[in-house]
Amino acid sequence: MGKKKSTYRKEIIKQLYFHKTLSCNDVSYKIGKSLPLTTRMLTELIDEDCVVETGYANSTGGRRPQMYSLRGDFMFIVSVAMDQFITRIAIMDMQNNPVAKTEKFELSLYNNPSALAVLTDKVCDYIDRSGIDENKIVGIGIGMPGFVDVIKGINYTFLDAGNASINHYVSSKTGLPVFIDNDSRLIALAELSFGSLHNRKNAMVINIGWGVGLGLIVNGELFRGQNGFAGEFSHIPLFSNNKLCSCGKMGCLETEASLFAVIEKTKEGIKSGKLSHIKELPELHFEEACDIIIDAAKKGDKFAIEILSDAGYHIGRGLAVLIHLLNPEIIILSGRGSGAGKLWQAPIQQALNEHCIPSLAIGTEIQVSQFGYDAELIGAAALVMERSEKDLSKAALLETELP
């Protein structure tokens, strides 16, 4: 297959992946190629069972155009979502539907020199058990906390690869292309690609987790900053509380607003005799403890609501600073903590009312992510499709199988 032809086909497949359904005219415009060429490429992809016709667009007065989508099962993506304690692995089809049960396991990243080897073994085993032909896997996308250099494939906080590339390490074991990025940026990528930020120009996505992460959308694109470390919202120094942050500094937003802080304040309150349906929290099982608190709050437990509201108010204080700097049109609340839903919105809005210039605050919409905890898995899959250079057509797959 010619190089140019292969490039056109890859672009068509990527456009259909990110837009779900497009007409031939839409595809032609987005890849910048003529309508006859685009029609021919789409016909070939249909013949190869890569693309399917999905009916006609709604009438706008003229002839309704035929619409096209990717066939979900013609290729797959391995998606990995990590936080400091829990890792999840899924295999997604071209419609971002999981095709195997998502695997979740405990993997502490703190002071764990074997974490990368354990992760890689788990990924290899998961792919083997899936029964999916590796030739049909586009690649592996991995979201992870920490300072991640996506170009060099290095995480300067976790997953020590001995100054080598994490991408190359995992790829050498799996035989597949590997792409990594910070978890909060991938959550923002999921929202930009498929969620509430589609077609939005300037937005912020807050990852409420063991830290308080931030994904920035500037001029309709994911913003990574000069060295790829933009979005360290968690470490804005807002407090004079003498509490040591994970970054080594004191008084960071993380010390009062992270899920760690929520758990610690809940334990302190229970110990001091606060009335609550929560009688105790499990030690060293932070995910379970977090779920207990959020579940209690959603059921109306006054103490649990107060704890989450306090954290939300502090997040709102931090957002007031960012709104003054960036003037976003929308803020999405996502990540593990977003399971508390609208419980976050009132205290955040209260903080904005108190600390933000009204003309700026009133123009900023606040929503809870429609993807919730799954956002990072979706973003990791989108990362693979965004950066993969692999020819995704079935014709290319058949070429690799020739003797």
Q: What's the average model confidence in pLDDT over 355-381? A: 94
Tell me the per-residue pLDDT of 103-134, one tens digit each, with 9 for 90 and over.
999 999 999 999 999 999 999 999 999 999 99
Tokens of 80: 């990995």
**CATH 1.10.10.10 in the chain, residue ranges:** 3-70
What is the CB-side half-sphere exposure of residue 85 using CA atoms within 13 A?
Answer: 13
Close Cβ partners of 325 (under 8 Å, ≥ 6 residues apart)? none
- Indicate where the chain has its CATH 3.30.420.40 domain(s): 76-186+378-400, 197-370
Hey, what's the torsion of the CAs at 286, 291, 297, 300, to 10 degrees? Answer: -140
Token pair of 361 as six digits: 């605050």
Tokens standing for residue 71: 């066939």
Fold of 197-370: Nucleotidyltransferase; domain 5 (3.30.420)
Is the Cβ–Cβ distance between 145 and 80 less than 8 Å? no
The domain 76-186+378-400 is placed in CATH, from the list 1.10.3720.10, 3.30.465.10, 2.30.30.90, 3.30.420.40, at 3.30.420.40
* 148-149 and 154-155 beta bridge pairing: antiparallel
Phi and psi, residue 312, nearest 5°: -60, -40
The dihedral formed by the CA atoms of 33, 36, 37 and 41, expressed in degrees to the nearest 10: 120
Residue with tokens 């029609």: 39
Evaluate whether the domain defined by 3-70 bears CATH number 3.40.50.920: no
Residue 60 has a pLDDT of 64
d(CA 141, CA 83): 14
State the pLDDT at residue 392: 63
Q: What is the pLDDT of residue 402?
A: 38
Q: How far apart are CA 375 and CA 144, in angstroms?
A: 13
The Cα–Cα gap between 280 and 215 comes to 34
Contact residues for 44 (Cβ-Cβ < 8 A; gap 6+): 9, 395
- CA separation for the pair 147, 230 (Å, rounded): 9
Please write the tens of the pLDDT for every residue from 374-392: 999 999 999 999 998 765 6
pLDDT band at 403, cuts 50/70/90? Answer: very low
Q: What average pLDDT does this structure show over 62-86? A: 93
**pLDDT at position 398:** 43
Q: What is the pLDDT of residues 286-332, one digit of tens each?
A: 999 999 999 999 999 999 999 999 999 999 999 999 999 999 999 99
Q: Over the stretch 191-229, which tens digit does the pLDDT of each residue have?
A: 999 999 988 999 999 999 999 999 999 999 999 888 788
Question: Which of 49-58, 72-81, 371-380, 394-403 has the least mean pLDDT?
Answer: 394-403
User: Within 10 Å of residue 20's Cβ, how many Cβ atoms?
Assistant: 14
Contact 357, 327 (CB under 8 A): no
Using pLDDT thresholds of 50, 70 and 90, give the confidence band for residue 246. Answer: confident
Question: In which band, very low, low, confident or very high, does the pLDDT at 2 lie, cut at 50, 70 and 90?
Answer: low
| Residue 355 confidence (pLDDT) above 90 | yes
Mean pLDDT (whole number) for 254-274: 95
What distance in Å separates the CA atoms of residue 382 and residue 231, rounded to the nearest whole number?
A: 19
Residue type, 239: F
Q: What pLDDT, on a 0 to 100 scale, did the predictor assign at position 164?
A: 85
pLDDT 10s digits, 145-182: 999 999 899 999 999 888 789 999 999 999 999 999 99
Tokens standing for residue 279? 């009688």
Distance from C-alpha of 104 to C-alpha of 10, rounded to nearest angstrom:
32
DSSP 250-294: BSBTHHHHSHHHHHHHHHHHHHTT---S-----TT-HHHHHHHHH
Is residue 399's pLDDT more than 50?
A: no
